Amino acid sequence: MSLQHPHNAASFLFPQTHSTVLPDPSTFFSSNLTSSPLPTNSFFQNFALKNGDQPEYIHPYLIKSSSSSLSISFPSRFFTSAFIYQVFIADLTISTSEHDNNNNNNKHVISSYSDLSVTLDIPSNNLRFFLVRGSPYVTVSYTIKLNNGQTWLIYASSPIKFSHTLSEIISDEFSGVIRIAVLPDDSSSNKYEEILDRFSSCYPVSGDVALNTNSSSVEYNWEKKGDGDLLMLAHPLHLLLLSKSDDDSHNNVTILDDFKYRSIDGDLVGVIGDSWLLETDPVSVDWHSNRGVKEESYDEIISALSKDVEDLDSSAITTTSSYFYGKLIARAARLALIAEEVDFLDVIPVVKKFLSETIGPWLDGTFNGNGFLYDEKWGGIITKQGSTDSGADFGFGVYNDHHYHLGYFLYGIAVLAKIDPKWGKKYKPQAYSIMSDFMNIGGGKSEHYHSTLNHHYHYTRLRCFDLYKLHSWAGGLTEFADGRNQESTSEAINAYYSATLLGLAYNDTELVSLGSTLTALEIHAAKMWWHVNGEGDSNMYEEDFVKENKLIGVLWSNKRDSGLWFAPPVWKECRLGIQLLPLTPVVEWTMPALDREGVGEGWKGFVYALEGVYDNESALKKIRSLKGFDDGNSFTNLLWWIHSRGSYDDDDRIIEEFCDEKQVLSFGHYSH
C-alpha cells in the first residue's frame, strides 16, 4: 500500500507556524532554492547560519567563508584523554584581486547543493567554489594568498602567469578553472604528486546518491567535467561497504590503498571512479525478539506486565515535552508487543486505549500545551513550544533532534496501527507526514526508489541522514564551530527502525526497505565511529583518548568528545545508556557493572540489560532489585530483554572486549 499525498498535505494536516526563532533562509540561499524545502541538519549548515563564517569539514579540508574570500585548512589534530578535535588554521585564503566595492553584500551565496556537494558563490568577487565531499582538490577561479610553508599544488585549465612575495601569490587576469590540493604531511616520495598530477584534469561539480533499497545498497554518482578519470577520497566506512560489493559491472572503481589523507574520521583513501556502489548487510526487522522469550519466564513477565499496564493513565501525564511525551508513548507500545510475545492478550485493549488517548491529540491538534506545526520556510514539522523558544523541546523548533522525538512517536503510531487498523487508517496521512519530516527521499537527481514517499515535496530530503558519512546528525539550525553533532546513535537507529515498523503496519514494502536500509547504515556508522576501536582503524584515535574511552559521548563533524550534553565523561553509565535507549528488539550491546556513587536507577537498568547478554543470571538479580526505571523503559521491558537473550555462545556475532572493571566494554551486535 502507498499513500497518495497532495503536495500541500502538510499545510492542512498540521497548522502553519509563525515561528519567531527560525533564521531566514534567504540570507544565504539563492532565490531559486528558497521556494523548496531546505536542509536543516546538513554538512554545510554553518554556511547558512548567522554570519555564515564558521568552518565546515568538507573532507579532507576545513572550509571557512568570510569577508569576500574562502579559506582552506588541512587541519592538524589537538587531543587530550577527554576529546579530540581538528584545528582550523587558514593555510590558504582565496580571493580575487579585483573586488566590487559597490557590492555591499560580501556574504557568500549557496547557489546549489546536492547529497555530496555544495556550491558557494561570492558575488562581490565573481568567485564560484565547487565544494565536493571527498575531493582532494578544491576547484575555483581565484588569487591565492599563501600564509605557511605547506606544499600545495596548483592546476589551471589554461595558461596562467603568477608573481609572488613571501606571503602572497598573485596571478594576471585569468578566466577558467583552477584546482588546488595539499600534499599530505606523510607523502615521503613523489608518488602523491604524480597521482594528483595524473587526475588533475577531471573535476567534480556535484554528487548525488541513489538509495537502492531492494538490495540495501547506496550508489554515488558524481557529475564531472574535464578529461580523464575522477579521483576522490573514501572514508573507512565507504571502504568497508565497497569491499562488500562483488558486482564489478556496477562498481567499476580502483582503490589506491597507499594514497591517503589524514582525517578525524580515519584515513581517507584514494578511489578512482565517478560511480560507487556501497552495499550493506540487510537488517530484517520484525515486531518481536528474534530468539523469542523463554517460556519458563512467562509468569514473571506477565506479573510485571499486569502492574505496568494497570499503572497506565493518560490523565496523569504532566509533561508537555515532545521528547519525554514521545518516550512515554513508546514505553506503553512496548507493553503491547511484549504482551503478544508472552501470549497475554488481555492487557492489549488497555494499552490500545492509552495510546489512542495520548497520540491522537498530537495528530489532530487538540493536545493542550504543545503540538505539531508546519514550517514553510525550511519545510518541516516543529512544535508550538519550539516556535517561540529555541531552547524548548531540546531545540526541536530549530530542527534539533527531530529523528529522536519523532522516532518515539512513530514507534507508538506503528504499534497502535497494528493492533487497531481502523485507527491506523484514520491517521495514516499524519503518520506518513511525521515520518517524511526526517525520511523524505524526494529531491535527488538520481533515484532508483520510486514511490509516493518521493512526493513529499513539502519536506526536505533526508533531514538528518548524511549520505556521505552514512549516519544522522541531530544538530539543526544552530551554529557550532565544530559543525553538526550527534549524541545518541541508538535513538537514531530507533527512528529508522520505527519507520520500518510503520511500513510493516501499513503493508508498505517500499517504506520497509528504505527504513531497514537506513537502520543498517546507522548501525554500521555507530560501530565505526562511536565505538572506539570498533569496526574502524585501530589507529583512528590517539592512544591517550583510546585508553580512557570505549564509547564516544558526542560525535561532531570536527570533534570527538567523551562528555555528553548533560553529563561529564566520568558518568560512563550515562554514556552507555544514551547509546542504548530505547531497549527494543533492534538493539543488543554488551557492558559491565558500575561502581560510582550516585548512579541513577534508570541508567543502571541499561547497564544491567547489557550485562544480561553475557551474564544473564547476574543481570536478572540486579534488575529485580531496581527501585526505578528510565521514563521510556519499564520493569516489564527489562524482564523481556533478559528472558529473550539466548545462550551467550549461541550468537558468534557478539563481540566482547574485556577491559578494566571501571572501563566500558566495547560494543556488541544489533540483533533484529
Active site residues: 401, 487, 491
User: What is the C-alpha to C-alpha distance for residues 262 and 76, in angstroms, rounded to an integer?
Assistant: 9
Residue indicated by cell numbers 571527498: 134
- Measured between alpha carbons, how far is 287 from 559 in angstroms, rounded to an integer? 36
Provide CB contacts within 8 A for 426, sequence distance 6+: none
Contact 453, 514 (CB under 8 A): yes
Q: Quick one: angle between helices 428-439 and 489-505, nearest 10?
A: 140
Going 418 to 424 to 430 to 432, the CA torsion angle's sign is positive
In sign, the C-alpha dihedral spanning 202, 206, 212, 215 is positive
The residue behind cell 529531491 is: 443
Instruction: Compute φ and ψ for 64, nearest 5 degrees.
Output: -135, 130
The bridge status of strand 61-66 relative to strand 69-73 is antiparallel
- Side by side, the strands of the sheet bearing 76-79 are 76-79, 83-87, 559-561, 554-556, 485-486
C-alpha cell of residue 286: 520484525
What count of other Cβ atoms lies within 10 Å of the Cβ of residue 341? Answer: 18
**DSSP conformation class of 202:** E
Q: At what angle do helices 428-439 and 509-525 cross, to 10 degrees?
A: 40
Q: Are residues 666 and 655 in contact, defined by beta-carbon separation less than 8 angstroms?
A: yes
Using alpha carbons only, how large is the chain's radius of gyration in Å?
26
Please compute, for residue 498, the number of CA atoms within 13 A of its CA located in the half-sphere on the CB side.
Answer: 37
- Kindly give the pairing relationship between strand 275-279 and strand 471-472: unpaired
* Residues 369, 382: Cα–Cα separation, whole Å: 14
| Integer Cα distance of 219 and 214 in angstroms | 12
Q: Can you spell out the DSSP letters for 424-449? A: HHHTHHHHHHHHHHHH--TT-SS-S-
DSSP conformational letter for 17: P
What are the DSSP calls for 84-126, one per residue? EEEEP--SEEEE-SS--TT----S-EEEEEETTEEEEEEGGGT
CA distance 45 to 498: 27
d(C-alpha 14, C-alpha 338), whole Å: 32
H helix or E strand, kind and range, residue 402 = helix 402-419
Cα(28)–Cα(288) distance, rounded to whole angstroms? 47
CB 626 within 8 A of CB 604: yes
> Does residue 401 come out as left (phi exceeding 0), alpha (psi in the -120 to 50 range) or beta?
left
Residues 501 and 333 sit within 8 Å (Cβ to Cβ): no
**Is-contact 220 453, C-beta < 8 A?**
no
Distance CA 366, CA 360 (A): 8
Cα–Cα distance for residue pair 501/2, rounded to 1 Å? 15
Query: Which residue bears the cell 555462545?
Result: 649
Strand ordering across the sheet containing 109-114: 109-114, 117-122, 127-132, 138-140, 178-182, 152-156
Specify the 3-state DSSP secondary structure of 476.
Answer: coil
